[in-house]
């Protein structure tokens, strides 16, 4: 039987709220099984860019990453956020070790090529590149990897990369060796039929029901790429995939029933 590992992704709203983040990290540190944390960015990068007078350009919700913006996200994601999370976990006796994808060449990506838009230093992950052997060696040393969403192209460039996709690709890569449960933690109770009604959780989403939900136009736009990443994971040997509210982590681990479960069919 394969060993269980949780791959847990946290996002912006949580990272921006020090108290909430700390409560989450307490719950995370108490998980007894093997675990990996992957974090996104939050508003800190935008705030810093504003202070420095560096204009941020968003196209369809994607940040255009020119050289100045790359420096900012590298500083904020791989520096400030990553190292503060690691220090807070160490305080809780959780032997965290922070990474960008460049470290130990764990995650390679390619600079996004688009016919019309120059995204700048934005990376699309090469799923074959995941250094799963090293990740499992680190995990077997009882280390808890904490990944920021910065990768590299092995040509000397850092790249700004989607954290939801990193979580999905990492989960897929490790599913060969582990019984992987992938948890997308965010500020909603799960996938909601009505984004303003926390009681409207959709308990299960499959590829088929996702298509229908998308067609009805009911789903909150921001959830679509997250669901696509979640579906890619369940289709590629990840054992379990859930979208849960950040405050429900402990409850989910202990009672296995929070949020929305992503299913094959």
Q: What backbone phi and psi angles, to 5 degrees, belong to 117?
A: -105, 135
Interface residues toward a second copy, by CB under 8 A: 51-52, 71, 74-80, 82-84, 86-88, 90-91, 95-100, 102-105, 134, 137, 141, 143, 150, 152, 154-158
Give the shortest CB-72-to-a second copy separation in angstroms.
9
User: In terms of CB distance, is 77 or 119 closer to a second copy?
Assistant: 77
Give the shortest CB-133-to-a second copy separation in angstroms.
10
Query: Is there a binding annotation on residue 239?
Result: no
Query: Is there a binding annotation on residue 160?
Result: yes
Query: Is there a binding annotation on residue 41?
Result: yes
User: In terms of CB distance, is 117 or 143 closer to a second copy?
Assistant: 143
Give the shortest CB-27-to-a second copy separation in angstroms.
16
Query: Is there a binding annotation on residue 222?
Result: no
User: In terms of CB distance, is 157 or 247 closer to a second copy?
Assistant: 157
User: In terms of CB distance, is 97 or 117 closer to a second copy?
Assistant: 97
- Binding site for substrate, residues? 41-42, 63, 160
- Binding site, residues? 41-42, 63, 160
């Amino acid at each position: 039987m394969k060993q269980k590992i949780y791959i847990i992704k946290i996002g912006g709203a949580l990272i921006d709220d020090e108290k909430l983040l700390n409560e989450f990290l307490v719950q995370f540190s108490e998980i007894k099984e093997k675990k990996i944390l992957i974090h996104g960015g939050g508003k800190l990068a935008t705030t810093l860019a504003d202070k420095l007078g560096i204009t941020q350009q968003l196209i369809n919700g994607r940040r255009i990453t020119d050289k100045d913006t790359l420096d900012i996200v590298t500083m904020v994601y791989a520096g400030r956020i990553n190292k503060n999370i690691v220090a807070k976990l160490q305080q809780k006796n959780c032997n965290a070790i922070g990474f960008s994808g460049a470290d130990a060449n764990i995650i390679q990506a390619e600079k996004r090529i688009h016919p019309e838009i120059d995204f700048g230093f934005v990376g699309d992950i090469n799923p074959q590149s995941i250094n799963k052997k090293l990740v499992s060696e680190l995990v077997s040393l009882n280390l808890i990897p904490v990944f920021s969403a910065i990768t590299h192209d092995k040509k000397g460039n850092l790249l700004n990369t989607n954290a939801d996709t990193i979580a999905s690709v990492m989960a897929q890569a490790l599913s060969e060796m582990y019984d992987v449960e992938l948890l997308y933690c965010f500020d909603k109770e799960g996938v909601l039929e009505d984004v303003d009604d926390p009681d409207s959780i959709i308990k299960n989403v499959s590829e088929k029901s996702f298509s229908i939900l998308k067609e009805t136009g009911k789903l909150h736009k921001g959830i679509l790429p997250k669901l696509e990443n979640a579906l890619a994971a369940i289709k590629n040997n990840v054992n379990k995939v859930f979208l849960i509210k950040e405050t429900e982590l402990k409850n989910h681990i202990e009672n296995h029933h929070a949020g929305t479960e992503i299913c094959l069919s």
